[in-house]
Amino acid sequence: MIESVKKACHIISCFSSEEPVLGNTEIAKKLGMNAGTTHHLVTTLCNEGVLIRDHNRRYRLGWKLLEWNNNVMFQQDIYDKAIPLVKELIHRFVGTAHIGMFDKGEVVFVLKVSSQEASPIHTYIGSRKPAYATSTGKVLLSYNSAYLQETISRGLSMQAPNTITDINKLKKDLEMVRKVGYSVSNNENSTGTYGIAAPILSYSGKTIAAVNLVGPVSYMQGSNRSMIIQSVINTAQSISQELGYIEV
């Protein structure tokens, strides 16, 4: 088992900016490994999303590595940098704030903070919701075409009264997200809430996560709606800056 892990790590290390795409024979030759053994390990890495195989049966690094990198970054920075900013948001408005990241067609909540007056909401750190049915998920789908394709391939099932299950309607909704810079989920998932989310960017400008504020539909669509939207956007921008993003 340990030897297989070492070999898998060596395979991943074969890929570089100079050689981003490699075939099975090339990998085996680089590592001095048997072609059959290499194929078995490469296939396993593809099944886990660590590698991607193209139509020419050649391989490149997969999205899973980017997700792992994002998780590492968040583990280091989120409590020191994101939490104070998210707490400011829930102190200003009544609701629950989350930071969500994408995984296999779903959004995974890596942070949850609620104001004292907020109604209970059945989410927790590590809980998952279909990406197309949440405000955080829609942000992630809007700025990552690969995420959208993976989500669509899993199917769009009804989660709540207003869930978007039509692919064309979802794409139009995501186009609007990119246009206005934030997303809305109006009773579209099992929480029965109204959510507003905005993108969190890495130092390179890639959308790696989203922060939202959710609450009762009547409150979120009330007189504070415009202020909530701007505050969520400002919070996302501040977190992005803390994580190293510089707008140019």
Contact 82, 111 (CB under 8 A): yes
Q: Give me the chain's average pLDDT, please.
A: 90
What is the domain extent for residue 80? 65-242
**pLDDT number for residue 135:** 98
pLDDT at residue 1 greater than cutoff 80: no
Query: What is the CATH classification number for the domain harbouring 18?
Result: 1.10.10.10
Relative to beta strand 183-186, strand 194-201 is: antiparallel
Pair 20, 121 in one domain: no
221 domain residue, yes or no: yes
Q: Residue 242 and residue 123: Cα distance in Å, rounded?
A: 26
DSSP for residue 103: E
- Residue 78: its pLDDT value, please? 62
Question: What integer pLDDT is reported at residue 181 of this predicted model?
Answer: 97
Same domain, 209 and 92: yes
Cβ burial of 172 (10 Å; 0-12, 13-18, 19+) is exposed
H or E element that contains 81: none
Domain identity same for 50 and 120: no
Structure tokens, 184: 């809305």
pLDDT for 245: 76
In this structure, the answer to whether residues 15 and 129 fall within a common structural domain is no
Residue with tokens 């072609």: 35
pLDDT of residue 248: 58
pLDDT digits (tens, 9 = 90+) for 206-238: 899 999 999 999 999 999 999 999 999 999 999
- Among candidates 159, 97, 111, which has minimal Cα distance to 131? 159
Give the chain's length. Answer: 248
Please check whether residues 238 and 130 belong to one and the same domain.
yes
Number of domains composing the chain: 2
For residues 41 and 78, state if they share a domain: no
Co-location of 119 and 193 in the same domain? yes
51/131 same-domain check: no
Residue 248 inside a domain? The answer is no
169 shares its domain with 217: yes
235 vs 245, residue with greater confidence: 235
Interatomic CA distance for residues 207 and 202, integer angstroms: 6
Q: Give me the CATH number covering residue 160.
A: 3.30.450.40
Write out pLDDT tens, residues 93-146. Answer: 999 999 999 988 999 998 899 999 999 998 988 889 999 999 999 999 999 999
Give me the pLDDT at residue 77, please.
61
Q: Is residue 247 part of a domain?
A: no
**Stated pTM of the model:** 0.70
Question: Last residue of a domain, which of 11, 34, 61?
Answer: 61
Single-letter residue type at 215: G
Query: In this structure, are 133 and 116 located in the same domain?
Result: yes
Kindly state whether residue 138 falls inside one of the protein's structural domains. yes
Q: Which residues contact 74 (CB under 8 A, 6 or more apart)?
A: 82, 99, 101, 110, 209
- By the 10 Å C-beta count (0-12 exposed, 13-18 middle, 19+ buried), 91 is classed as exposed
**pLDDT of amino acid 5:** 86
How far is it, in rounded angstroms, from Cα 238 to Cα 244?
Answer: 10
- Reported as a single tens digit per residue, the pLDDT across 151-181 is 999 999 999 999 999 999 999 999 999 999 9
* CB-based contact 95:118 (threshold 8 Å): yes
Which has more pLDDT, 142 or 2?
142
- Note the pLDDT tens digit of each residue in 71-98: 655 555 666 778 899 999 999 999 999 9
Sign for the CA dihedral angle at 124, 153, 215, 202 comes to positive
What is the per-residue pLDDT for 110? 85
- Please tell me the distance from the alpha carbon of residue 21 to that of residue 152, in angstroms, as a whole number: 26
Tell me: do 97 and 180 sit in the same domain: yes
